[in-house]
Amino acid sequence: MAIREHPWGREMLARLLEAGFTPALIIEEDSDVGEVEREKFEYRIGSHSVGPPMADQALEHGIPIVTVPIHNDEHCMSFIEEAKPELIVFGGTRIIRGAILEYGDARGGVLNAHPGLLPECRGSASPAWSVYHDIPIGASCHFCSVAIDAGDLAGRREIPVQRGATYHDICHATLVEAAKLMVEAVDAFAEGRLDELRSPQGESEWPTFRYDAEVEKAAIAKLERGEYGRYVE
């Protein structure tokens, strides 16, 4: 499941296919809100490249795509029930709750990749908030739960940041690492060892962050000044 042509979905799909995992179905959201979210992530990665358009990848590999106006129970469940997936993977979506999570939990699970270390940095615009608060940069893969970014971990990895790295560099690095973590989790699922990766997140000293344009601007400026507190020297 992904917002239409979301950079996360494009990169994640490319890496899953490269690893030999072909989705039974792609459910894309085509909406005004989704378009705004896609544009935010395109801005964050700047000129860095990601996987080919999802539509092109799907056509090449014979993967059916259905388009819905919003990823919610009413519009998605009939497609999910027909496809009978063993595992549901999110590749850049808005917050999803309800029957979709219940369906996935009753089968192999619902996995999401996140552009920040969990539980340290939950919520939106994680690279910006991480720089703003001097939290280490990283990516995580986790099981979805009702609470935002709070489900059990399936993997997480810190990303070293060199002095001189830009905001675009950091955001792209988290995207790529998150896609790698998702491939590792799907591979573990295919081998029957996904539960071996599962671990509780624990508590965080930070709240669940929401997108804040001013914080994002401040984080960009902080990197330009070389004042991020977690550089690898």
Please give the backbone phi and psi of residue 159, each rounded to the nearest 5 degrees, phi first. -115, 120
Q: pLDDT, tens digit, for every residue of 203-228?
A: 999 999 999 999 999 999 999 999 99
Count the Cβ atoms, other than its own, within 10 Å of residue 177. 22
Of 154, 137, 160, the C-alpha closest to 201 is 154
Kindly state the DSSP code that residue 17 receives in the 8-state scheme.
H
Judge residue 225's burial from the number of C-beta atoms within 10 Å of its C-beta, 0-12 exposed, 13-18 middle, 19 or more buried. exposed
pLDDT over 90 at 50, yes or no:
yes
CATH number of 2-224: 3.40.50.12230
Distance CA 99, CA 105 (A): 10
Give me the pLDDT at residue 119, please. 97
- Inter-residue contact 57 to 13 (CB < 8 Å): yes
Global pTM value: 0.96
The domain segmentation of the chain, as residue ranges, is 2-224
Helix 167-190 / helix 7-18 crossing angle, nearest 10 deg = 40
Distance CA 79, CA 72 (A): 11
- Torsion angle, alpha carbons of 72, 36, 211, 167, to 10: 130
Q: pLDDT, tens digit, for every residue of 14-38?
A: 999 999 999 999 999 999 999 999 9
Helix 167-190 / helix 213-224 crossing angle, nearest 10 deg = 110
Q: pLDDT, tens digit, for every residue of 156-177?
A: 999 999 999 999 999 999 999 9
pLDDT over 90 at 74, yes or no:
no
